[in-house]
Amino acid sequence: MGCERTPLAVALALALLLGLAHGDVVQFIFGDSLSDVGNNNYLTKSLARAALPWYGIDFGSGMPNGRFCNGRTVADIIGDKMGLPRPPAFLDPSVDETVIAKSGLNYASGGGGILNETSSLFGSIISSD
């Protein structure tokens, strides 16, 4: 089983090294509430929002920031350890091409899953369709 994953690991390592050698490295994050940095807060029909006071209490200004945790997400922690900028939420209206080129983008949406039915309880989320 380990041999089956070796080509993937080698390909990912080469991609990372080539990216580091040829300019800025940024993150493009896909996921659910474990990685969401506020996309759902821009969806007016979503019930899955991280806008309550305890979301963000240990992060930045201590105000709700769209993360479904009290501080940094796993993607934030990994990016910080690698020295990468934190990518903004995909639905943030202030995001433009310059921001994407310098920081990447976060497409994660709380309540998301592989199947569209996964989010049926939450109203609307970012869909991959």
**φ and ψ at residue 27, rounded to 5 degrees:** -110, 140
| Total domains in the fold of the chain | 1
Give the C-alpha separation, 39 to 22, whole Å. Answer: 30
pLDDT tens by residue, 88-109 = 999 999 999 889 888 999 988 8
**104 within some domain:** yes
Residue 41 lies in a domain: yes
pLDDT in tens, 43-83: 887 777 777 778 878 887 888 888 888 888 888 999 999 99
Q: What is the pLDDT of residue 1?
A: 47
The single residue listed with the structure tokens 């992060």 is 59
Question: Domain range for residue 48?
Answer: 25-122
Q: State what percent of residues in the chain have pLDDT above 90.
A: 15
Is residue 96 included in any domain, yes or no?
yes
Residue 9 lies in a domain: no
Specify if 127 maps to a domain: no
